[in-house]
Amino acid sequence: MALDAWLPIGFRLPDGAKVRIALFGGPNWQILETQGDGRALVAHEDLATRWLDSGLIERGPFSTFDFGDRHLWAISCGPTQVLCPVADGRSPDTKAEALAFALALRATRGIDSESPLQDALYVERISRLLPTYSISSRTNDDVVLGFWLTGGASVSAKSFRRLRQTMSWLGARHLKDVVQAAGFEVAEVMPAEPARAAPAAKEASQPDTKEPRRGQPTAHDAAGFFELAGRPELAAFFNEHVIDIVQHRDRYKALGIDFPSAIVLHGPPGCGKTFAVERLVDFLGWPSFQIEASSVASPYIHETSKKISDVFDKAMQNAPSVLVIDEMEAFLADREMGSGHHRVEEVAEFLRRIPEATKNEVLIVAMTNRVEMIDPAILRRGRFDHVIKVDFASEVEVLSLLDKLLASLPKEADVEARPLAHELAGRPLSDVAFVVREGARLAARSGKERLDQASLLEALRTTPAREREGGETKRRIGFI
């Protein structure tokens, strides 16, 4: 349906631009197409005055005029400058266009930190996103940036891996420049160009079946330090055995280590294995691929093995990448358990492909709740060198996660995380997140604008631990 333009075709604006048709509009603004493929923003005086009073605009670039009973403000731009609603923008074609929007977003937020920008008007000429002050709820700025860069996808700029996959034409380093220009941090490891030489032979050693050692990475990790709320030991393991190797490829390669070894994470459900892997993938910024029963299992003979092989091939074609094997006991159970010839074939496919994928710069991370069921041949050296137990969180780990979860919420001064951490110690980390969310819900239901200690304690009281399989006395609750 055509938009009813405020100004007639051929109307000359004070700056000389001639109006053609209306392209976009709201209750108190319109964007018009002008002769020569330019555009003009025309706004009611009350809206323009609000922009002026807030410091978002200056009078200089704008002209004012009367049309009928309306007193209007206008600004025109040429065909090479962008002028459109944020919600109707197309994906930028060049890094310069992407940077221009990122800088406009940052400049706008430096003046107005509160107004929603998902309905704003992007005026490249003055490097501003001008709010329309609609009554819609605010969308986070990282999502606004991701929406603009992708041309309409609801992708957060903080989820760098997803953004990078959507904007593969730009390149990781250039995209990182854009996201940082908007004021967002990018915890993403930039891998060196892969060298396809065959890796040097490694001395055989037994798999590491210990829990991650305590301690912090050394000072040279400042270029990119991976953090994991509630799991400092697991974060330290990833920093030492994955991140440092990726960041210092030449140093490790000189000593015969080309790429991080495959990893198994095992432990009870709900202890944060999946969360940890997702955060690692986001940090690396590499394409990720997944093998799970729902995506590759087939009732037909040989079909499952073929699908597994296809996933490995895709991961190697997109290297460096991450291949996640979820619920590995579904594919890699001990062949001595007599589960049929087809299962033997599937295990054999993994035995063949895991070393090959690691040589081709695919980081393999597998997860299981039943490590005792896994075929011993899979857990041997040269396949999964690290077998890491992720158990229920200690009080210190729970406190770390609580501090991170509560930091982003409006809360009263009486909120104290330590009593909650004491009660939640030994329970799944998913319980911790649930208690905070439930406390926030109870506070909102009571008409409170801030989270208080009473709401958190009530949430804890109504969220008892459930008994685990094999448990004796304490009930526990967990989610995967």
C-alpha dihedral sign at 232, 439, 479, 391: positive
Could you give the dihedral angle defined by the CA atoms of residues 178, 184, 189 and 190, in that order, rounded to the nearest 10 degrees?
10
Length of the chain: 480
- Which pLDDT belongs to residue 203? 41
Same domain, 412 and 379: no
For residues 120-135, give the mean pLDDT: 93
CATH of the domain at 425: 1.10.8.60
In a domain, 202, yes or no: no
In a domain, 273, yes or no: yes
CB-CB contact of 160 with 285 (8 Å): yes
Q: What does 369-415 look like in DSSP terms, one character per residue? A: S-GGGB-TTTTSTTTEEEEEE--SPPHHHHHHHHHHHHHTS-B-TT-
Same domain, 99 and 223: no
Same domain, 63 and 41: yes
- Boundary of a domain, candidates 118, 152, 181: 181
Count of helix runs (H) and strand runs (E) in the chain: 17, 13
* Segment 305-313 long-range contacts (CB within 8 Å, at least 24 positions apart): 305/342, 305/345, 305/346, 305/349, 308/346, 308/349, 308/350, 308/353, 309/349, 309/353, 312/353, 312/356, 312/357, 312/362
CATH of the domain at 223: 3.40.50.300
CB-CB contact of 427 with 460 (8 Å): no
Please provide the average confidence, as pLDDT, over all residues in the chain.
82
CATH of the domain at 72: 3.30.200
Same domain, 241 and 99: no
In a domain, 437, yes or no: yes
pLDDT exceeds cutoff 90 at 148: yes
| Window from 113-117, 196-200, 239-243, 397-401 with minimum mean pLDDT | 196-200
Q: What does 416-468 look like in DSSP terms, one character per residue? A: -HHHHHHHHTTS-HHHHHHHHHHHHHHHHHTT-SSB-HHHHHHHHHTSPPPBP
Same domain, 236 and 366: yes
For residues 445-459, give the mean pLDDT: 91
How many domains does the chain fold into? 4
CB-CB contact of 105 with 179 (8 Å): no
Confidence of residue 210 (pLDDT cuts 50, 70, 90): very low
pLDDT exceeds cutoff 90 at 54: yes
For residues 244-272, give the mean pLDDT: 88
- Which pLDDT belongs to residue 41? 97
Rounded Cα distance between 66 and 253, Å, is: 71
Top-confidence residue, 473 or 148: 148
Written as one letter, the residue type at 152 is G
Q: Terminus-to-terminus CA distance in the chain, angstroms?
A: 47
Rounded Cα distance between 183 and 173, Å, is: 16
CB-CB contact of 154 with 142 (8 Å): no
Same domain, 262 and 316: yes
In a domain, 197, yes or no: no
- Boundary of a domain, candidates 355, 389, 423: 389
Tokens of 92: 């930028």
* Tens digit of each residue's pLDDT (9 = 90 or more) over 100-121: 999 999 999 999 998 999 999 9
Strands of 63-67's sheet, edge to edge?
19-26, 29-34, 38-44, 70-77, 63-67
- Which pLDDT belongs to residue 2? 63
Ramachandran assignment for 352, one of left (phi > 0), alpha (psi -120 to 50 degrees), beta (any other) = alpha
In a domain, 68, yes or no: yes
Q: Say whether pTM exceeds 0.85.
A: no
For residues 144-165, give the mean pLDDT: 86
For residues 357-384, give the mean pLDDT: 85
Tokens of 236: 């330290």
- Boundary of a domain, candidates 77, 102, 125: 77
Same domain, 253 and 358: yes
CB-CB contact of 338 with 296 (8 Å): no
Q: What does 136-199 look like in DSSP terms, one character per residue? A: SPPPPHHHHHHHHHHTS----TT-HHHHHHHTTTT-HHHHHHHHHHTT-------PPPPP-SPP
Instruction: Please report which helix (H) or strand (E) contains residue 286, including its range.
Output: none
In a domain, 194, yes or no: no
In a domain, 278, yes or no: yes
Same domain, 160 and 252: no
- Which pLDDT belongs to residue 330? 74
pLDDT exceeds cutoff 50 at 432: yes
Rounded Cα distance between 195 and 69, Å, is: 70
Domain extent for 233: 219-389
Phi and psi of 175, rounded to 5°?
Answer: -65, -40
CB-CB contact of 206 with 383 (8 Å): no
Tokens of 261: 């070894």
- Which pLDDT belongs to residue 222? 38
Share above pLDDT 70 across residues of the chain, in percent, rounded to a whole number: 83
Rounded Cα distance between 248 and 252, Å, is: 7
Same domain, 370 and 232: yes
Same domain, 224 and 342: yes
* Tens digit of each residue's pLDDT (9 = 90 or more) over 56-89: 999 999 999 999 999 999 999 999 899 999 998 8
Share above pLDDT 90 across residues of the chain, in percent, rounded to a whole number: 33
pLDDT exceeds cutoff 90 at 381: no
Asked if the bond preceding 61 is cis, omega within 30° of 0, the reply is no
> Which residues lie across from 290 on neighbouring strands?
324
Same domain, 108 and 63: no
* Tens digit of each residue's pLDDT (9 = 90 or more) over 265-283: 998 887 778 888 888 888 8
Phi and psi of 29, rounded to 5°?
Answer: -155, 155
pLDDT exceeds cutoff 90 at 286: no
* Tens digit of each residue's pLDDT (9 = 90 or more) over 396-405: 888 888 888 8
Residue found under tokens 């015969």? 256
Same domain, 142 and 111: yes
- Which pLDDT belongs to residue 335? 59
In a domain, 211, yes or no: no
- Which pLDDT belongs to residue 285? 77
